[in-house]
Amino acid sequence: MDDQQITFFSPLIENAIRLASFWHSGQMRKLNDFEYFTHPVSVAMILTRTSSDDELIAAAFCHDLLEETDCPDDEIINACGEDVFNLVKSVSDDFNLDRDRDWEKRKELYIQKIKEGSEKTKLLCCADKIHNIQTLIASLEEFGMNYFSLFHRGPEKMLWYYDTLCLMLQQTLVHPLVQELDSLLDQFVELLEILDKEEKEGVKRSPLPIPDEEKLEYEENNNVEEIDSDASLQFEEMILGQEELAFKQQGILPIKLKDKTKKIKLPKSKYKYLNKEEVELLLPNVLNLCIKNGNIDNKTLQENLQVNYLLAHRILKELKRQHIIDRADSFKPRKVNKTKTKELLKDFKKDNEN
């Protein structure tokens, strides 16, 4: 026992807990079911799995004080020191930009800020996003796409943000928490695909609880089934006129779709992220775009194939699985392995000739 190092509960962490619990007092999470303070506690607990750094853990408890409360800078500095304050500041959004109107700009600046930050900044950011995505997934599983009505943006923008942030962290930090965030992001995408399919089939999950102050107004105007919200609009169709699009692109389309009687046979296990119809109508165009451009990204796929962000993301994941690109993201154009692309295109043609 004498040879073991005994770690005492840090006064710094105690100060951070007291400060954060005081300023977050009365605040609730999105659905008003848990106190907001459960979030910084969870972020701190995530970090303790891989770190015993007192300043990092203290910053985790305080990380939302500048964004979500009126806590003065001096209180954080007096309670926890300038190093903790600077860490909190390094993971806080730009307060000069409007939360809703300037959402995209704020997120771009935030990602750049984290990229230029210290390792502690990146770890704090990563733990924060891990808990956010965990709670987002749990709420989406219960309430479906309507849950996005509580946010400034809908599913596609949210996916863009987390995907871009995760890519940056992978490029700048090697750490188990980054791997965990990437794995959660895959779960998020898979759940969005399930929910999108359910909406098309008319499947409904639990309705969102109505805040007490809105109940009376809602009951008076209860001539609709759900609360209106831009963020809860259904996704655009996963394939928008792909057959007509294919006819317009005959110059690059390696197969002819006019022959309605011809059934393209594809090995069921060959394509993991795309279904048979998507492969038939999209993959030839995607492969030709890869060969033509030498690189590919989400925006290029959306513009050339007239698909939404989510389907473009799945196409990129399939290209990654086939070793045509190195990462399924839209942060920047991904360099294409043309040799692998031509091999897959050749195999695709061969499958269709059989």
Q: What is the pLDDT of residue 200?
A: 81
**Helical packing angle, 119-143 and 38-48, nearest 10°:** 120
- pLDDT of 242 higher than 50: no
Task: Please tell me the distance from the alpha carbon of residue 173 to that of residue 115, in angstroms, as a whole number.
Answer: 9
Task: Please tell me the distance from the alpha carbon of residue 265 to that of residue 354, in angstroms, as a whole number.
Answer: 8
259-304 pLDDT per residue, tens? 443 444 444 447 777 888 888 888 889 999 999 999 998 888 988 8
Confidence of residue 169 (pLDDT cuts 50, 70, 90): very high
Domain boundaries along the sequence of the chain: 11-200, 242-353
Q: Which CATH architecture has domain 11-200?
A: Orthogonal Bundle (1.10)
- Which two tokens mark 131? 């808990």
Widest CA span of the chain, in angstroms?
A: 82
- pLDDT of 114 higher than 80: yes
Task: Please tell me the distance from the alpha carbon of residue 179 to that of residue 337, in angstroms, as a whole number.
Answer: 25
Query: Helix, strand or coil for residue 295?
Result: strand
Confidence of residue 117 (pLDDT cuts 50, 70, 90): very high
Q: What is the pLDDT of residue 8?
A: 52
Q: Which helix (H) or strand (E) segment is 309 a member of?
A: helix 309-321
Cβ–Cβ under 8 Å, residues 276 and 266: yes
- Mean pLDDT calculated for residue range 153-165: 88
The torsion defined by the Cα of 24, 29, 35 and 41, in degrees rounded to 10, comes to -70
How many other CB atoms are found less than 10 A from the CB of residue 312?
25
Q: Mean pLDDT for the chain?
A: 80
Domain 242-353 = CATH 2.60.120: no
Confidence of residue 165 (pLDDT cuts 50, 70, 90): very high
Give, in degrees to the nearest 5, the angle at Cα 15 between 13 and 16.
Answer: 65
pLDDT top residue among 91 and 259: 91
Cβ–Cβ under 8 Å, residues 336 and 294: yes
- Mean pLDDT calculated for residue range 68-80: 94
